[in-house]
Chain A
Amino acid sequence: MSAYNRGTELDLSWISKIQVNHPAVLRRAEQIQARRTVKKEWQAAWLLKAVTFIDLTTLSGDDTSSNIQRLCYKAKYPIREDLLKALNMHDKGITTAAVCVYPARVCDAVKALKAAGCNIPVASVATGFPAGQTHLKTRLEEIRLAVEDGATEIDVVINRSLVLTGQWEGSDFIKTSTGKETVNATFPVAIVMLRAIRDFFWKTGNKIGFKPAGGIRSAKDSLAWLSLVKEELGDEWLKPELFRIGASTLLSDIERQIYHHVTGRYAAYHDLPMS
C-alpha cells in the first residue's frame, strides 16, 4: 500500500463547488472505449499488466476451503505456465494483486497462500457486506477479527445512511460499489471518481487509490479501464498500490486472450485451469 492518507479537515465547500455535467461525461465515456485501442503484442503486455491489478474475488454463499484453495492457487499462477514462457514472462513474478474473500474465509485463504508460497495480501470484505446495515460494534469487531486472521486489506462498506445525511468518512482507496448492485462499475461514474482523485491530489498531495468492481468480465473492458486510468491520472496510478480491479471471471477471459495471442487459436473451456 502507498503511504496512508493522512486525511484533511472535512471542507464541504470543495464538494459544493464541483460541477459535473452528466451528458458531457457520458460522451467522454463513449470516446474512451473507442479511442485507445491496443493491438498485438502491446495488447498482450497490457493484459498481463491488467492481471497484476486484479483482486481475485470470491464472494458467494457456498464458499468453502476447497474453492478458496483453488482460488489462491490461481492467484499465484494466474496464467498457464507455458503461455507465459512463450511470452518470456514466466520469471517476472506475475500474480494477481490480492485475493478477496468473506471474513469467515480469511483463515483458509491465508493458509492456502502460505502453502503455495505466495505473499500476496488477503483482502477481506467486512462491516456487514454488502448492505452495511449492522451495528457499529459488530462492524468494528468484524474488522478486528479479519485482521487477526491475517487480512491486510479491508473493503469497508460505508454506512449509506450517513452518506445520505452528509456525514462523510475518509479512506485510502475508493471503490465504485460493492459489486453486488444492479449497476456497478460504469465508465461515467469512474470518470467522475478519477477526476475527484486527481483534484484531491492537487489540493493535498495525497494519492488515493481506485477500484472498480462488479461487471468487468471481458479482457477488452479491462483494457479500457487501464487506458481510462492512464488518461485521467497518468502512469503513476497504474500500480497495484493505487489501482485494483475487483473481478472473478475476468481472469479467465484474459487467459483466453493470451492463449489466442500465443497460439493463434481459440481455447476450449477445458484447456485452461479453473479458478
Chain B
Amino acid sequence: MRTGVIGLILPPTFSFLEMMWRICPALAVGCTVVALVPPASPTPLLLAQLSGELGPFPGVLNVISGPASLVPILASQPGIQKVAFCGALEEGRALRRSLAGECAELGLALGTESLLLLTDTADIDSAVEGVVDAAWSDRGPGGLRLLIQESVWDEAMRRLQERMGRLRSGRGLDGAVDMGARGAAACDLVQRFVCEAQSQGAQVFQAGDVPSERPFCPPTLVSNLPPASPCAQVEVPWPVVVASPFRTAKEALLVANGTPRGGSASVWSERLGQALELGYGLQVGTVWINAHGLRDPSVPTGGCKESGCSWHGGPDGLYEYLRPSGTPAQLSCLSKNLNYDTFGLAVPSTLPAGPEIGPSPAPPYGLFVGGRFQAPGARSSRPIRDSSGNLHGYVAEGGAKDIRGAVEAAHQAFPGWAGQSPGARAALLWALAAALERRKSTLASRLERQGAELKAAEAEVELSARRLRAWGARVQAQGHTLQVAGLRGPVLRLREPLGVLAVVCPDEWPLLAFVSLLAPALAYGNTVVMVPSAACPLLALEVCQDMATVFPAGLANVVTGDRDHLTRCLALHQDVQAMWYFGSAQGSQFVEWASAGNLKPVWASRGCPRAWDQEAEGAGPELGLRAARTKALWLPMGD
C-alpha cells in the first residue's frame, strides 16, 4: 500500500538523473511528491516544467525552489507522510531530531564519499580509471578514500599522478573536459581541507589542465595523512582523493570499516575469492568488483551507518514508499514538552507499599546476558504481579551498566552468528521451537496466572513455536540475483544482518510478541538485546532458560527493569545498530530523537497496539524487511 504524500528534499549537487531516480519510483507506486530544491542550479526549473506537463494530473509532482531554511517547515507540514532527505550529515541529524514524534516518517540518504580498495592483484591502470570515475569527473558525487596495498603503493601513486596530469577541467558544454565546477562553496571547502591536511603533515598533489578562475578546483591527491588527524575523520570533499596504505586484506577491512560512513565502495582484485571476501566484509550499501560508479534503476542503492538507511532503486527503493496494507498511517505522537534530557534518566523506586503476605516466591531471576543468568549491577529486583494482584515473582532491576554488558556480549556473539549459514541458523531456531513445545504446560500455566484462558494460553505457546519455525524456513529461501540491462554479469542483492538489534517488547502478548520479534531478528543473523514486556517479563525469562541450553552465548540477551530507563540507555548507545520500540508514544518520540546519535534505523510503534496474533502484523514481511539490510554487489563479467 502506498504511503501518500512524499516530501523530497534534494541537495544542490544532484543531477537531473539523480532527482528522477528518486521521484519516479514514488510516482510509479502512486504517491505524490513535493520536491524542495535549492535555487542554486537550473535543474529544478526543468523539473518544474516537467511537472507542469503532467497536465491531466495536476499536483502529482510539485517543485519548490527555496533555501535550506524551508526544510523543517516542509518536513513538519501535517499532510506529509514521509520525508526523504538527501544531503549532508549534520543537516540530516538535525532533521532527525526535529522530526521525532511527528507523523512523517523520515528517510535519510547522507554523504557523498566513496571508497576504493586497490589490492596488489588488481589491474592498476583500470583501477586508476576507477579513481577518475569516482572522484575526478562529473559522475562522482563526492570525494574518495583510496586504500592501496603497500606493495603496489609506488606504482599506483605514479600512475595516479600521470593520469591527473591529463585531466582537463572546464565548462561543462566544452566537449573535451573531464570535470566541471560545483560552485564556490565547494571550492572553499576543498581549500580548507587541503590547508588543514597540509598542516597535519600530509602531502598534497594537484595537477590537471584547470582554469584558474574561482569556482574551478583542480583534482587533488592527498597522501601521508595520519589516520588520527581530524582531516581523516571528516568526509572527503570533491574532487579530493585521500590515499592511505594497508598491508593485508584483513587490515584493509578494518581501515575501510573504521569510519562512520557506509555509502559505496569498490574492490579491485583479479582474484575472485579475495574480491568476494572483501566485498562481503565491507560495511557499505553498494560494492563494485573491478568497477566503480555503475548505476542502474533496478539495483537498490543506499547506505548504512551514518550514510542513512534509505534506499532508491530496485525493490528496496519501492519499499521506501510503501507500507504494509491494512496498517493505518502513522499518527503524530508529538509531545512538545517531552524533556529529552530527563526522560528515563531516573528510575522510579519500586518499594512495596506494605509487607508481603503469602508464600515466599522463588529467588529473583537475574538478567540473561552472555548465555547465563547474572545478577544485575544495581543488585536490586522488582516484583511482578499476576492478574489477581498476587506476587508472581521477582525480576532483576537492570541499569545502564547491564545494558552496556548486554550490548558487549551481543557484539561478541555477532561475528560467529552472522557467519553461520541460513540453514544452521534455522536449525537453532527449530531447536528452540521444540524446547518451547516441550515446556508448553509450564508456559501455559504462567500465562494463565496472567489472566489468559488455558486454551488461549496453549494456543499462544503453539503459535510462538510455529513462528520460530516459519522464520527459520523463510530465511533459507532467498533469491539474490538481479538482472541489469547493459551489464554482463550478475548483480547480487544480499540481505545482511544489521548487527546488534535492540528490541523493546510491548506489554501485551508477553510470550507471543517476544518470540515474534526475536525470531526474525535472529533468523537474519542479528544478535539481540531485548527488554521484555514490563507487565510480565517472566514468560520471556522462561524462554531464556531454554535459550541458555540451545543458543550460543550472547546471541539473545534479555534485560529486565524500568522500561523507560532501559530504553534511554539503548537508544543513546552508539554501538547498537538498530532499534525496535513497542512501548509508549513518549518513548517512541524519545527513541526517534536519540537515534540521531549514530543514525540507527528505528521502528517505533508510537503507542499504537499491534495485533501480534494476526499473520499480517505478527509475522508479516515487514518484520523481515526491517531485520536485515541490503547490499548490492556488482560483478561485471569478462576476460
Contacts and interface: CB of A to CB of B under 8 A. Distances in A.
Interface of A: 19-28, 35-39, 195, 202, 230-231, 234
Contacts of B125: 195
A36 B166 CA distance: 12
A253 B175 CA distance: 22
B126 interface: yes
A208 to B, nearest CB: 17
Contact of B637 (A23, A27, A38, A39): A23
B123 A24 contact: yes
B175 A39 contact: yes
Given A19-B270, A23-B290, A28-B126, 14 more contacts: A19-B121, A19-B123, A19-B124, A21-B268, A23-B637, A23-B638, A24-B127, A24-B636, A25-B123, A35-B178, A37-B175, A195-B125, A230-B166, A234-B166
A202 B158 CA distance: 10
A136 B417 CA distance: 67
Given A27-B291, A231-B166, A20 B123 contact: yes
A24 B290 contact: yes
Contacts of B126: 20-21, 24-25, 28
13 contacts: A21-B122, A23-B291, A23-B636, A24-B127, A24-B129, A26-B638, A36-B176, A37-B176, A38-B176, A39-B175, A202-B158, A230-B166, A234-B166
Nearest to B124: A19
A35 B290 contact: no
Nearest to B489: A23
A11 B491 CA distance: 39
Nearest to B119: A19
B117 to A, nearest CB: 14
Nearest to B126: A24
B273 to A, nearest CB: 15
B172 to A, nearest CB: 12
A21 B121 CA distance: 11
A195 B166 CA distance: 15
A238 B375 CA distance: 79
A19 B488 contact: no
Contacts of B597: none
Interface string B604-619: 0000000000000000
Contacts of B123: 19-21, 24-25
Interface in B286-315: 290-291
A28 B137 CA distance: 13
A24 B291 contact: yes
Interface in B268-296: 268, 270, 290-291
Interface residues of B, number: 24
Ranked nearest first, the 7 interchain pairs of A and B with the lowest CB-CB distance are A24-B126, A37-B175, A21-B123, A23-B636, A22-B638, A19-B123, A23-B638
B130 interface: yes
B129 A35 contact: no
Contacts of A21: 122-123, 126, 268, 270, 290
Nearest to B163: A231
A11 B10 CA distance: 55
Interface in B84-124: 121-124
Interface string B169-180: 000000110100
Contacts of B53: none
A42 to B, nearest CB: 9
Contacts of B121: 19
B127 to A, nearest CB: 8
B175 A24 contact: no
Contacts of B268: 21
Interface hub of B125, B176, B290 (most chain A Cβ within 10 A):
B125
Nearest to A231: B166
Contacts of B213: none
A39 B123 CA distance: 33
Contacts of A25: 123, 126
B341 interface: no
B42 to A, nearest CB: 23
A117 B32 CA distance: 77
Contacts of A37: 175-176
B639 interface: yes
B639 A22 contact: yes
Contacts of A195: 125
Interface hub of A19, A27, A231, A234 (most chain B Cβ within 10 A):
A19
B478 to A, nearest CB: 27
Nearest to B488: A23
Interface in B613-639: 636-639
Contacts of B639: 22
Interface in B363-390: none
Interface in B169-224: 175-176, 178
A61 B124 CA distance: 44
Contacts of A22: 638-639
A84 to B, nearest CB: 25
A26 B125 CA distance: 13
A23 B126 CA distance: 9
B254 to A, nearest CB: 25
A232 to B, nearest CB: 9
A23 B178 CA distance: 21
B603 to A, nearest CB: 39
Contacts of A24: 123, 126-127, 129-130, 290-291, 636
Contacts of A26: 638
A234 B291 CA distance: 25
Contacts of B124: 19
A202 B639 CA distance: 26
Interface string B487-517: 0110000000000000000000000000000
Contacts of A38: 175-176
A230 B162 CA distance: 12
A178 B634 CA distance: 37
A90 to B, nearest CB: 28
A195 B270 CA distance: 18
A234 B125 CA distance: 15
Interface hub of A27, A28, A36, A202 (most chain B Cβ within 10 A):
A27
Contacts of A27: 129, 291
A21 B488 CA distance: 14
Contacts of A23: 290-291, 488-489, 636-638
A263 B123 CA distance: 47
Interface hub of B123, B291, B639 (most chain A Cβ within 10 A):
B123
Interface in B123-173: 123-127, 129-130, 158, 166
Contacts of A202: 158
Contacts of B270: 19, 21
Contacts of B637: 23
A262 B236 CA distance: 49
A36 to B, nearest CB: 5
A28 B129 contact: yes
Contacts of B488: 23
A24 B131 CA distance: 12
